Amino acid sequence: MSDDFELDTDDLTRRMDGAIAALRTEFASLRTGRASASMLEPVMVDAYGSPTPINQVGTVNVPEPRMVTINVWDKGLVGKVEKAIRESGLGINPQLNGTIIMLPIPELNEERRRELTKVAAQYAEHARVAVRNVRRDGMDQVKKAKADGLMSEDDQKFWEDEVQALTDRFIAQVDEALETKQGEIMQV
Protein backbone atom coordinates (compact mmCIF):
# COMPACT_ATOMS: atom_id res chain seq x y z
CA MET A 1 0.00 0.00 0.00
CA SER A 2 1.17 3.50 -0.81
CA ASP A 3 2.13 5.82 2.03
CA ASP A 4 1.07 8.90 0.06
CA PHE A 5 -2.65 8.55 0.84
CA GLU A 6 -4.42 7.81 4.10
CA LEU A 7 -8.21 8.13 4.19
CA ASP A 8 -9.49 9.76 7.39
CA THR A 9 -11.86 6.95 8.43
CA ASP A 10 -12.18 8.50 11.91
CA ASP A 11 -13.78 11.58 10.32
CA LEU A 12 -16.16 9.43 8.28
CA THR A 13 -17.06 7.40 11.37
CA ARG A 14 -17.66 10.58 13.41
CA ARG A 15 -19.94 12.00 10.73
CA MET A 16 -21.91 8.75 10.42
CA ASP A 17 -22.19 8.62 14.23
CA GLY A 18 -23.70 12.09 14.03
CA ALA A 19 -26.42 10.81 11.70
CA ILE A 20 -27.23 7.99 14.15
CA ALA A 21 -27.31 10.45 17.10
CA ALA A 22 -29.69 12.74 15.19
CA LEU A 23 -31.91 9.74 14.43
CA ARG A 24 -32.05 8.73 18.11
CA THR A 25 -33.01 12.30 19.05
CA GLU A 26 -35.81 12.31 16.48
CA PHE A 27 -37.01 8.90 17.69
CA ALA A 28 -37.08 10.16 21.29
CA SER A 29 -39.59 12.82 20.28
CA LEU A 30 -42.03 10.22 18.92
CA ARG A 31 -44.73 9.26 21.39
CA THR A 32 -45.10 5.53 21.94
CA GLY A 33 -48.07 5.61 24.34
CA ARG A 34 -45.68 5.27 27.24
CA ALA A 35 -44.61 8.27 29.31
CA SER A 36 -41.05 9.50 28.78
CA ALA A 37 -39.32 12.68 29.90
CA SER A 38 -37.46 12.79 26.55
CA MET A 39 -40.71 13.41 24.66
CA LEU A 40 -40.61 17.00 25.99
CA GLU A 41 -37.06 17.70 24.74
CA PRO A 42 -38.12 19.41 21.49
CA VAL A 43 -40.62 21.68 23.34
CA MET A 44 -39.31 25.19 23.97
CA VAL A 45 -40.81 27.65 26.46
CA ASP A 46 -40.59 31.42 25.97
CA ALA A 47 -38.92 32.07 29.32
CA TYR A 48 -37.23 35.34 30.24
CA GLY A 49 -37.27 36.49 26.61
CA SER A 50 -35.65 33.49 24.95
CA PRO A 51 -36.67 29.95 23.95
CA THR A 52 -35.72 27.60 26.79
CA PRO A 53 -36.03 23.79 27.09
CA ILE A 54 -38.66 22.67 29.61
CA ASN A 55 -36.07 20.83 31.72
CA GLN A 56 -34.40 24.22 32.40
CA VAL A 57 -37.54 25.80 33.88
CA GLY A 58 -38.76 22.88 35.98
CA THR A 59 -38.22 19.30 37.10
CA VAL A 60 -39.59 16.67 34.72
CA ASN A 61 -40.64 13.37 36.32
CA VAL A 62 -42.37 10.18 35.19
CA PRO A 63 -44.23 8.99 38.32
CA GLU A 64 -46.23 6.30 36.48
CA PRO A 65 -46.21 4.67 33.02
CA ARG A 66 -48.87 7.01 31.56
CA MET A 67 -48.07 10.28 33.36
CA VAL A 68 -45.38 12.95 33.08
CA THR A 69 -45.21 15.74 35.65
CA ILE A 70 -43.38 19.05 35.44
CA ASN A 71 -42.72 20.94 38.65
CA VAL A 72 -42.18 24.49 37.38
CA TRP A 73 -39.76 26.44 39.58
CA ASP A 74 -41.06 29.95 38.73
CA LYS A 75 -44.82 30.41 39.25
CA GLY A 76 -44.82 33.08 36.54
CA LEU A 77 -43.80 30.53 33.91
CA VAL A 78 -46.51 27.92 34.59
CA GLY A 79 -48.86 29.41 31.99
CA LYS A 80 -46.08 29.69 29.39
CA VAL A 81 -45.01 26.06 29.94
CA GLU A 82 -48.63 24.91 29.61
CA LYS A 83 -49.06 26.97 26.42
CA ALA A 84 -45.82 25.59 24.92
CA ILE A 85 -46.98 22.00 25.55
CA ARG A 86 -50.43 22.66 24.06
CA GLU A 87 -48.90 24.23 20.92
CA SER A 88 -46.14 21.61 20.54
CA GLY A 89 -48.19 19.16 18.51
CA LEU A 90 -47.58 16.32 20.97
CA GLY A 91 -51.32 15.80 21.34
CA ILE A 92 -51.17 16.01 25.13
CA ASN A 93 -53.62 18.03 27.24
CA PRO A 94 -51.79 19.52 30.28
CA GLN A 95 -53.57 19.68 33.65
CA LEU A 96 -52.54 22.29 36.22
CA ASN A 97 -52.15 21.65 39.93
CA GLY A 98 -50.46 24.74 41.40
CA THR A 99 -46.92 24.83 40.01
CA ILE A 100 -47.14 21.20 38.92
CA ILE A 101 -48.26 20.45 35.37
CA MET A 102 -49.52 16.90 34.86
CA LEU A 103 -49.45 15.37 31.40
CA PRO A 104 -51.61 12.24 31.14
CA ILE A 105 -50.41 10.23 28.14
CA PRO A 106 -53.40 8.92 26.20
CA GLU A 107 -53.46 5.42 24.77
CA LEU A 108 -52.54 5.41 21.07
CA ASN A 109 -55.15 4.04 18.68
CA GLU A 110 -54.20 1.67 15.86
CA GLU A 111 -54.38 4.34 13.16
CA ARG A 112 -52.12 6.72 15.10
CA ARG A 113 -49.63 3.89 15.74
CA ARG A 114 -49.41 3.20 11.99
CA GLU A 115 -48.89 6.91 11.29
CA LEU A 116 -46.07 7.05 13.86
CA THR A 117 -44.34 4.01 12.34
CA LYS A 118 -44.40 5.80 8.96
CA VAL A 119 -42.89 8.92 10.57
CA ALA A 120 -40.21 6.74 12.20
CA ALA A 121 -39.46 5.19 8.80
CA GLN A 122 -39.06 8.68 7.30
CA TYR A 123 -36.63 9.65 10.08
CA ALA A 124 -34.66 6.45 9.40
CA GLU A 125 -34.54 7.19 5.67
CA HIS A 126 -33.15 10.67 6.39
CA ALA A 127 -30.43 9.04 8.51
CA ARG A 128 -29.64 6.54 5.72
CA VAL A 129 -29.32 9.42 3.24
CA ALA A 130 -26.96 11.24 5.62
CA VAL A 131 -24.81 8.08 5.96
CA ARG A 132 -24.77 7.63 2.17
CA ASN A 133 -23.70 11.25 1.72
CA VAL A 134 -20.72 10.63 4.00
CA ARG A 135 -19.98 7.46 1.98
CA ARG A 136 -20.05 9.48 -1.24
CA ASP A 137 -17.59 12.00 0.25
CA GLY A 138 -15.25 9.16 1.24
CA MET A 139 -15.46 7.56 -2.21
CA ASP A 140 -14.80 10.95 -3.84
CA GLN A 141 -11.65 11.36 -1.72
CA VAL A 142 -10.44 7.92 -2.83
CA LYS A 143 -11.18 8.61 -6.53
CA LYS A 144 -9.43 11.99 -6.35
CA ALA A 145 -6.35 10.43 -4.74
CA LYS A 146 -6.29 7.77 -7.52
CA ALA A 147 -6.68 10.46 -10.19
CA ASP A 148 -3.85 12.48 -8.60
CA GLY A 149 -1.60 9.41 -8.78
CA LEU A 150 -1.37 8.98 -5.00
CA MET A 151 -2.47 5.33 -5.08
CA SER A 152 -2.63 2.24 -7.21
CA GLU A 153 -5.82 0.50 -8.34
CA ASP A 154 -5.33 -2.10 -5.60
CA ASP A 155 -5.15 0.67 -2.98
CA GLN A 156 -8.23 2.30 -4.48
CA LYS A 157 -10.13 -1.00 -4.21
CA PHE A 158 -8.95 -1.45 -0.59
CA TRP A 159 -10.14 2.04 0.48
CA GLU A 160 -13.44 1.75 -1.39
CA ASP A 161 -14.07 -1.57 0.40
CA GLU A 162 -13.25 0.09 3.74
CA VAL A 163 -15.69 2.94 3.11
CA GLN A 164 -18.39 0.51 1.97
CA ALA A 165 -17.92 -1.70 5.06
CA LEU A 166 -18.23 1.37 7.29
CA THR A 167 -21.38 2.44 5.43
CA ASP A 168 -22.93 -1.03 5.70
CA ARG A 169 -22.27 -1.07 9.45
CA PHE A 170 -24.03 2.27 10.00
CA ILE A 171 -26.97 1.46 7.70
CA ALA A 172 -27.46 -1.72 9.76
CA GLN A 173 -27.53 0.42 12.94
CA VAL A 174 -30.21 2.66 11.39
CA ASP A 175 -32.29 -0.38 10.40
CA GLU A 176 -31.93 -1.90 13.87
CA ALA A 177 -32.94 1.37 15.58
CA LEU A 178 -35.96 1.67 13.28
CA GLU A 179 -37.07 -1.89 13.97
CA THR A 180 -36.79 -1.31 17.73
CA LYS A 181 -38.72 1.97 17.58
CA GLN A 182 -41.48 0.52 15.39
CA GLY A 183 -41.79 -2.37 17.86
CA GLU A 184 -42.20 0.12 20.73
CA ILE A 185 -44.82 2.09 18.82
CA MET A 186 -46.88 -0.95 17.83
CA GLN A 187 -46.74 -2.50 21.31
CA VAL A 188 -50.15 -2.20 23.00
Q: Which of 105, 87, 100 is nearest to 34 (CA)?
A: 105
* Percent of the chain residues topping a pLDDT of 90: 48
pLDDT at 164: 96
Residue 1's pLDDT is: 45
Class of domain 9-27+109-186: mainly alpha
What ranges do the domains of the chain cover?
9-27+109-186, 34-104
Q: pTM of whole model > 0.75? A: no
- Interatomic CA distance for residues 174 and 185, integer angstroms: 16
CB 42 within 8 A of CB 123: no
Mean pLDDT of the chain: 88
User: Does 3.30.1360.40 match the CATH number of domain 34-104?
Assistant: yes
Indicate the range of 41-45, 167-171, 184-188 predicted with least confidence: 184-188
Q: Do residues 108 and 92 make contact, with C-beta atoms less than 8 angstroms apart?
A: no
Tens of pLDDT, residues 1-39: 445 678 888 999 999 999 999 998 888 777 666 777 777
Higher pLDDT, 179 or 41: 179
Q: Model confidence over 85-138: pLDDT tens digits?
A: 888 777 788 999 888 999 888 777 888 788 888 889 999 999 999 999 999 999
Q: Would the CATH topology of 9-27+109-186 be identical to that of 34-104?
A: no
What are the φ and ψ backbone dihedral angles of 15, each rounded to 5 degrees?
-70, -40
Relative to beta strand 95-97, strand 67-72 is unpaired
